Amino acid sequence: MKLKNWDTELFKNGASPCYENGEPCEVHIWSNGDIISMDIRNGIIKCHYNDGYVVIGDPKYNLKLLPTKKTGWVNIHNHKHYVCAIVDSQIFDSEEAALISNNPDRIATIQIEWEE
């Protein structure tokens, strides 16, 4: 799992925080911008710079963000010249949106997942 660098705005918009080693943590950002975190396993509280680096202590407490799981829908088509199927490059937000895209060669519509 590839962790994302700390980004305060992404965190404020719902991204899940963790430490550099992937361990979960709770984070609070004060109105003046100061950041603290608490290790959920042992209750240790750490202070952080705005970029997520720990002020004093082990760098394993540097803040990161867990990847965000995304889902979408793609259409699979018959290929006219080869005996194979190809996946449409367009990713749709819903199955309904994928199904209404007019393509007579569609053989299936499937849901996919990925991490960003």
Determine the pLDDT at residue 68. 85
* Interval 8-22: pLDDT, tens: 999 999 999 999 999
What is the three-class DSSP state of 95? helix
pTM: 0.67
Determine the pLDDT at residue 82. 67
Cβ atoms within 10 Å, residue 18: 21
Residue of 30, 31, 1 whose CA lies nearest to 16: 1
Determine the pLDDT at residue 86. 67
**CA 9/CA 28 separation, integer angstroms:** 13
* Interval 37-86: pLDDT, tens: 999 999 999 999 999 999 998 999 999 999 988 899 988 887 777 666 66
Residues 6 or more apart whose CB falls under 8 angstroms from that of 91 comprise 72, 73, 74, 112
